Structure 1
Amino acid sequence: MHILYSSNTFEFSNTWSLTYLRPTIPADQWNAIRTVDLKWAFPGHWLPSKDPVKSVYVWAGRQQWVETCKAILLMKNLEDFTLHLTGNWFGEPIEKVPVFLEPLKGLCLKNHPQRRWKILLPPQPYYKKETTKLNDMMQKESIYCEIHDAVQCSGGCVKPALGLRSVTYS
């Protein structure tokens, strides 16, 4: 069983898939997971807003995201984590990205203290221009990750270890 969890890349296309899977796996097996690849089209309207009507959506979406982050932080042997922000997920200023990523603030990769987890931004010109600025902002907020635009990483940032297979959850 340990090999099943420790030798595969777990791919999730929805945050709720990860949180629903967690209670079905014994804690020692959950801790054996080493590689997670999470793809998510994060809706920008889930970010904090002064609009009271939007606050209902903010709370519901934010709660799901926070639960997903807690599940990820519980993976004691996580060695590689990539968050793919897909599609046209964020129509607001780049300065709000750290607000979204704050629940992952304490994420550290096991056995690789210098290696950081990765975020792949959508392949849009706006993000390509803002990648360096966003990396600096994340550093300032003590969220230690690498920010890349998806085009920059195609074929380069996410390299599964030789012999590993992916387990996909939708």
Structure 2
Amino acid sequence: MGLLINRRQTDRKESALDFFNFVRLVARIYERINWFSFSTNFPQERGSCCYNQYAVYRYYGSRNGLSPRSYLDSAKDYSATGKQLNYIKATYDKHICANVITMVGFGRGQFKQLGVTQDAVYLLNPNDSGLVYFIAQHELYKLTFDWFKMFIMCDEHKWVCDRWPPVIEN
């Protein structure tokens, strides 16, 4: 979805060129970093770019003092430093008695869950590989950013693990 920032980073004011500069930068990379639009406000750009991505930047980046380049540089930082599981969005599937994870977030801040049924296992089905990961509620601590990189991201984006190799502890 992008980088969600909830407090001011600098005193920078929004520029009239922010839209142009942001779109110029993100249009080159949105596919590489899987930042596709799922916007209901702009259905014509679903699966592509750039109004929804700009709206996310404007709300979380620009209003908090970040230039388009500094926001995107931060969003493309796949190091694990300072990134803990802080968000899970899921849909409970009563047929398999599991919380099917639709979105995860890593960063700083309090852990939040949306759409989760307590006491149900979590299911993560990340891609078309046929792999399914089941995670018990008491084992969510194992869902680290490095684990996510190794078992989810690097399957499709090997360059992420080449540049920021995950460290998995047993």
Q: TM-score, normalised by structure 2?
A: 0.26
Greater C-alpha Rg: 2
More helix by share: 1
Q: TM-score, normalised by structure 1?
A: 0.26
